[in-house]
Chain A
């Protein structure tokens, strides 16, 4: 029963990792950028939601709904002001630029909010504490189910949009060959701006769920970035369904590790990631990106 519990909790935790990984996966797939500020953008979103929630005394979910338009606009602005310029500088420049952006966000948050550890769990009420008790040893938390459901809806919805809508086709075409896309009338910068806005928006959702699920502070971003990056690689680059699977695999690996011994929790996740990298599929991934 312990093991079943571990797998169930891992599935639910995996939803959170998949949410974090979604934006990272999208930006890599469409713009070939590894956004090192992704975790910090999520934490920035969480702070914005925290501010709205505590000032207006509303539930975190309402706070998230109010914060999302701001963060989507920020995503657009991020592409037009920072990423578009850095993309013109070659493949290494965006990596350095987003690394710098990560430091700027962390220090900005430190300045504005102090290093105090915060949580939105308190203002979420029964959502963060309640659960369905199935048996004495197996209970399913509301929040976990909501997180996983949100992840499935967001990643699945995004995948369906990419496949079946006009702007989705434009995004895939631009990802494959942005120069040729311009020759059929598709401006790459507008497509990139849309992708960045979506990535920042989903990161905000992920940051909010993290804030309700546990705690966060200005330096929480890099840890989430590592989990997100592992989920993307485990699931396979450039596939959103793969990213969802990757997040779940990582979550289950961590909870099973924790069942063996609590100190193995994070380590089990990393080992899982390294195992994938060393496997034939991981090797093909590396050779593909170098050719």
Chain B
């Protein structure tokens, strides 16, 4: 059975239909990369799944439970964690305080400040540093670590590598790779197609608020993605 089931989901920004009747599912331990041009509705989709944006229609089912109208903080209790675009750390709090805020009402599970710092050793020397004083890569790792503190069953990372240096991207993916190999369920938004195709098991291509392609990453050529990405194939069923 799939862990996350999205059916006919719509979400709006005012009059703009950012997400239009999207349907897809994510199985347990699956790693899904969502690709698509800017403005395709990826971030809105993820925020709607996490409860930070209201759904205008359709349903979101998580582990058999309809969570479409559930407030964000209760979805965290159910096991959904979103690393938002732009990291959104609590800037005046230290790294450790950022982690502890997320851990306070966490589900029971393997992640705590100790195990998170073991998984991301680069954070240990930074734990008393204010989040505002971190580099972009350090912030992204802290944001992922903060999301892990809630012991998620589904970790969603928006714009994994946006604004990061190539070395920082490697560091972040090394951390995500360890999570993937440990059997985590992940949804990533990634602008870098090569990264997305090599890291994820499944790829979801989004164009103008609709899913235009959903296939295992192995079966996919760059050309197919590019076509779906820019909507060159007008005959593609939508």
Residues on A with beta carbons closer than 8 Å to the beta carbon of B102? 184-185
Against A, the Cβ 8 Å flags (1 = close, 0 = not) of B184-212 are 00000000000000000000000000000
* CB of B213 within 8 Å of the partner chain: no
From A169, A173, A177, A184, residue with most partner B Cβ within 10 Å:
A184
B31 to chain A: which residues have CB within 8 Å?
A: none
Question: Least Cβ distance of B194 to chain A in Å?
Answer: 29
CB distance from B208 to the nearest CB of A (A): 26
**Which chain A positions have C-beta within 8 A of B74?**
187
Chain A neighbourhood of B106, CB < 8 A:
185
With A180-B88, A182-B73, A183-B72 as contacts: A169 and B93 at CB distance below 8 Å: yes
Judged by a CB distance under 8 angstroms, whether A172 is at the interface is yes
B-chain residues with CB within 8 Å of residue A176 when the two chains form the complex: 90-93
B217 CB → nearest A CB, Å: 27
Q: Which residues of B contact A182 (CB under 8 A)?
A: 51-52, 71-73, 76
Instruction: Give B87 Cβ to nearest chain A Cβ, in Å.
Output: 9
Question: Is the beta-carbon distance between A166 and B90 smaller than 8 angstroms?
Answer: no
The smallest C-beta distance from A237 to any residue of chain B, in angstroms, reads 14
- A95 within 8 Å of B (CB atoms): no
User: Which residues of chain A have C-beta atoms less than 8 A from B104's C-beta?
Assistant: 166, 169-170, 185-186
How distant is A203 from chain B, measured CB to nearest CB, in Å? 26
Q: Taking the nearest CB of chain B, how far is it from the CB of A184, in angstroms?
A: 4
Chain B residues with CB below 8 A from A186, complex form: 73, 101, 104-105
Contact between A173 and B71 (Cβ–Cβ < 8 Å)?
Answer: no
Q: Is the CB of B90 within 8 A of A180?
A: yes
Chain B residue nearest in CB terms to A179: B52
If A182-B51, A185-B76, A185-B77 touch, whether A169 touches B71 (CB-CB below 8 Å) is no
In the complex, the chain A residue whose C-beta lies closest to that of B151 is A185
Q: Which of A169, A177, A181, A183 touches B100 (beta carbons < 8 Å)?
A: A169
Please give the number of chain A residues whose Cβ is less than 8 angstroms from any Cβ of chain B in the complex.
16
* B interface residues, tally (CB under 8 Å): 29
Cβ < 8 Å to B, chain A residues 136-166 = 166
Interface residues of A in 177-210 (CB under 8 A from B): 177, 179-187
> Which chain A residues border B84 with CB–CB below 8 Å?
180, 183
Q: Tell me the complex Cα distance, A176–B94, Å.
A: 13
CA distance A181 to B81 in the complex (A): 12
Is the Cβ of A184 less than 8 Å from the Cβ of B150? yes
Residues of A within 8 A of B91 (CB): 176
Q: B55 CB to closest chain A CB, in angstroms?
A: 16
Per the 8 Å Cβ criterion, residues 61-107 of B in contact with A are 71-74, 76-77, 81-82, 84, 88, 90-93, 97-98, 100-102, 104-106
In Å, the complex CA distance between A173 and B74 comes to: 17
Given B71, B82, B100, B150, which contacts A187 in the complex, CB threshold below 8 Å? Answer: B71
- Which chain B residue has the least Cβ–Cβ distance from A167? B104
Across the interface, which residues of A come within 8 angstroms of B71, CB to CB? 182, 187
Which residues of B pack against A, CB within 8 Å? 50-52, 71-74, 76-77, 81-82, 84, 88, 90-93, 97-98, 100-102, 104-106, 146-147, 149-150
Give 11 new A-B contacts, CB below 8 A, not counting A179-B72, A187-B73.
A169-B93, A169-B104, A172-B92, A172-B97, A173-B93, A173-B97, A176-B90, A177-B90, A180-B84, A183-B52, A186-B73
Interface residues of A (CB under 8 A from B): 166, 169-170, 172-173, 176-177, 179-187
